[in-house]
Amino acid sequence: AQFASAQPSLSGRHILVTAGPTHEAIDPVRYIANRSSGRQGYAIAAALAGLGARVTLISGPVTRPTPPGVERIDVESALDMAAAVEAALPADAAVMVAAVADWRVEAAGQKVKKGDGAPPALTLVENPDILATLGHSPRRPRLVIGFAAETQDVVAHATAKRTRKGADWIVANDVSADVFGADANAIHLITADGVESWERLPKSTVATRLAQRIANALQGAS
Ligand code: CTP
Ligand code: CA
């Protein structure tokens, strides 16, 4: 019998990655956004492509070059991202790194004017949870990985998200530290087997380690 290769390849696998922020329109000229830089998601897309995967990167608005060998689909809002994820299926794995806006605005069709009254109130509507939808979908990829941005009780909140969203793994990071746009990330990898805390590493190293783990998991029996 042959032993498994030490460097499993992702050749022949299709992997979805979401990355970046979303922009939620207030009116035709204004939007609500968040501080996601897309750096970690792009690094993961690059690392997966480096192992031979066919990668579809569904990206919110960021100014960043497309990693070599990656097919990039640009979206703006959470609703656009949800539709693009659905359209990109089937996939063997999905890595949902995007900082999806939790709420969208009941947007105005025309530019809101200052007028003479009080400042306008924004009415917020909850966005669909793209990860939870995929995690519970009949078209669910074999391996579904979410991220969790937390400022407190990081592991507890992230562990609850793993179950609630139907994810196999959650990569939890503490965003009370300076993570957005930074070069390094200290993550906890939460799986059915428990919690693994990684030392603070460059986002590119987090990405290559994670890609390797994904390759190992997809190579495994189930
Ligand atoms: N996510 C998603 N769709 C959303 C919100 C989040 O797909 N509408 C995904 C993110 O891409 C990430 C994971 O869910 O992989 C966790 O996102 P996070 O913002 O940490 O969790 P929420 O469930 O939105 O909870 P909260 O922001 O209240 O902590
Ligand atoms: Ca959220």
**pLDDT tens digit sequence for 153-180:** 999 999 999 999 999 999 998 887 666 6
Residue 38, ligand 1, Cβ within 6 A: no
**Sign of the C-alpha dihedral computed for residues 211, 170, 43 and 59 taken in this order:** positive
CA distance 191 to 171: 9
Distance 101 CA to ligand 2 centre (A): 6
From 79, 129, 144, 189, the mutation candidate for ligand 1 (largest count of ligand atoms within 8 A of CB) is: 129
* Residues contributing to the annotated binding site for CTP: 102, 111, 128-131, 147, 161, 165
Q: Which ligand ends up closest to the CA of 147?
A: 1
Output the six-digit token pair for 150: 């937390």
When pLDDT is cut at 50, 70 and 90, the band that residue 8 belongs to is confident
Question: What pLDDT does residue 161 have?
Answer: 97
Backbone phi, psi, residue 162, to 5°: -55, -50
Of 3 and 56, the structure prediction assigns the larger pLDDT to 56
Residue 161, ligand 1, Cβ within 6 A: yes
Q: What is the mean pLDDT of residues 20-33?
A: 97
Pair 99, 72: CB distance under 8 Å: no
Residue 16, ligand 1, Cβ within 6 A: no
Catalytic residue annotation: 34
Distances (CA, A) of 134 to 16, 33, 63, 96, 197: 11, 23, 27, 10, 26
pLDDT single digits (tens) 86-127: 999 999 999 999 999 999 999 889 999 998 788 999 999 999
**Does pLDDT of 221 surpass 50?**
no
Residue 145, ligand 1, Cβ within 6 A: no
